[in-house]
Amino acid sequence: MNKLDEYSQLVSSIYDAALDFKRWPIVLEHLADALEGSTALFRNANLVNTEGVWASVHIDQAFQQLYVERYNEQDPLWERAGVRPVESCVSDRELIPK
């Protein structure tokens, strides 16, 4: 399979996951591989009350849960993310410099 086919399949799987949240872990696995990333996380959240659900790969679930319990409501990314269009995607480094 060539790169164009791989990316086409990845984009298609993202659209599928948008309709079925349970598909996100597989999509994130492929996305991390395609981008040569060490981890991947997707959060479907309400920017008003910070409640939501998480999908992640290559992240220790116990530490992720500790983060949610302790820092979820104090996350500075929420303040900087603001309201964005549904189709937008932003990385943490775009919001807060390293």
Instruction: List the domain range (segments joined by +) for residue 8.
Output: 3-95
**pLDDT score for 75:** 75
**pLDDT score for 44:** 77
Q: CA–CA separation, 25 vs 10, rounded Å?
A: 13
Q: How many domains does the chain have?
A: 1
Enter the DSSP assignment of 1: -
Relative orientation angle of helices 24-34 and 3-19, to the nearest 10 degrees: 150
Mapping DSSP to helix (H, G, I), strand (E, B) and coil, where does residue 55 land?
strand
> Does the pLDDT value for residue 15 go beyond 90?
yes
pLDDT tens, position by position, 25-61: 999 999 998 888 888 888 777 666 667 788 889 999 8
Q: CA–CA separation, 3 vs 9, rounded Å?
A: 10
Q: pLDDT tier at 11 (50, 70, 90 boundaries)?
A: very high
Place of tokens 């591989």: 33
Q: What is the pTM of this model?
A: 0.65
Strands 52-57 and 40-45: antiparallel
Q: What average pLDDT does the segment 86-98 reach? A: 78
Q: What average pLDDT does the segment 49-75 reach? A: 81
